[in-house]
Amino acid sequence: MSETATRPLATVGPVRVRDATRPAPRQLVRFAFYRVDPGWRRLPADAKAAHRREMAQVLEEHNRRILLRTFTLVGTRGDSDLMIWAVSEDAERLQTLFADLNRTALAGYLECSHSYTSMTKRSLYVDTEHPNQGGTTDRLVLAPGRSRFLFVYPFVKTRAWWALSSEDRQRMMQEHIRVGHEYPSVKINTTYSFGLDDQEFVVAFETDSAADFLDCVQALRDTEASSYTQRDVPSFTCIRAGIDEMLEALG
């Protein structure tokens, strides 16, 4: 991403204010999942505390410059303990965040079990704002809320889907969207990965009710568009946690 992509934004402390006369720049997004080596838990308590403090300091410093959310997966997933959701208009800022994390002592005990890179983009099928939509109306700027749960999964459509006419795809997606609107407590953030990563999309659903999300996904399975999904795993149940809370959950 070039520096020119950020010129419409002015930096005011930790808040970036967009010039309303210019279109919003698109954002680069990374969902990074980590698993801690069990050996770390056998370290002395004071060493673990120092490791947590060092990583927390790095995350808090970068949180002043980019959109950053932290989650724990302790108790919900066997191969991941934490997730960092990082969003920026500048690829360099994301790269610097994760490079700085790699320099911490705790990083020596972390394995990046899953990683998904994507970008914001105008929806191909939604032209108007709706209650389940995350971010701005044009979907170029993400605006994560404070819901308890974030459900994240990458997915890929079949080649047959892209061979359909745009009218057929629009018709099926209208049904898909209508069913999703029946669950207003579930907010969707859709980002795109064409050419950036192994998947085509990454979706992140925010809600306070895991039951509502489960029922929503089950209902969406009955839509015609769902039959054109080639892959939509793995799926992650992430619980919102502050930086310190996320690191404390490691043990």
| pLDDT given at position 134 | 53
| pLDDT given at position 13 | 41
Which residue has tokens 């698109």?
Answer: 26
> pTM of this prediction?
0.86
d(CA 136, CA 171): 24
| pLDDT given at position 226 | 97
Nearest Cα to Cα of residue 72 among 115, 103, 33, 109: 33
Domains belonging to the chain, first-starting first, are 3-119 (3.30.70.1030)
Residue 129 burial (CB count, 10 A): 12
116-175 confidence digits (pLDDT tens): 999 999 877 765 444 555 554 455 789 889 999 999 999 999 999 999 999 999 999 999
181-207 confidence digits (pLDDT tens): 999 999 999 999 999 999 999 999 999
Nearest Cα to Cα of residue 88 among 65, 70, 58: 65
Q: For residue 75, what are its two tokens?
A: 């108790």
Please give the torsion angle defined by the CA atoms of residues 107, 109, 114 and 117, in that order, rounded to the nearest 10 degrees: 10
Q: For residue 180, what are its two tokens?
A: 């999703």
Return all residues near 29 (Cβ < 8 A) that are at least 6 apart. 85, 86, 87, 117, 118, 119, 120, 142, 191, 202
- Angle, CA of 97, 52 and 91, to the nearest 5°: 5
